[in-house]
Amino acid sequence: MKIAMGNDHTAIEMKQAVKEFVETMGYEVVDFGTNETASCDYPVFGEKVGRAVASGEADLGIVICGTGVGISLAANKVKGIRACVCSEPYTARLSKMHNNSNVLAFGARVVGIEMAKMITEEWLKAEYEGGRHQRRVDLITEIENKNL
Ligand code: RB5
């Protein structure tokens, strides 16, 4: 299974730590950057990860900026993306089980590296439950389709 990762300049160290952690869990990681310490624009990397997941190039995505908010907003603009900012493992797990989130976001200025790993592990291990949740996820997709 392939995980696309993207981040801005605030999250290079965290991305590297989470990337290594995800690899030890047995996943392949495609790193869309940035790996440059110079200040950059998070939407560029949020979009790259969103497009990789939406196209099927990657199965899931993980995006990190200072808060997780900006980069998740950018990823969410890609059709088919359900990116969720999670600062603790419970929300991360439920975002997969109930919302079928396909991109996980968190903030390098909000959570520490160990918490980021826990959030990631919980999210990757969780499975979408479908059932009653599918109707609600379908309603989200309907909203998205009205924007065309
Ligand atoms: C960069 O300073 C910061 O705005 C960015 O990392 C992110 O937190 C935006 O949502």
- Over residues 87-103, the pLDDT tens digits come to 999 999 999 999 999 99
User: Average pLDDT in the 103-129 region?
Assistant: 98
pTM attached to this predicted model = 0.98
Residue 37, pLDDT score: 97
**77 CA → ligand 1 middle, Å:** 17
The residue type found at 57 is E
Burial track 56-94 (b if 16+ CB lie within 10 A, e otherwise): eebebbbbbbbbbebbbbbbbebeebbbbbbbebebbbb
- Quickly state the pLDDT bin for 147 (edges 50, 70, 90): confident
Residue nearest to atom 5 of ligand 1 (CA): 66
User: Average pLDDT in the 22-49 region?
Assistant: 98
User: Average pLDDT in the 32-49 region?
Assistant: 98
In the chain, % of residues over pLDDT 90: 99
Ligand 1 atom index nearest CA of 11: 6
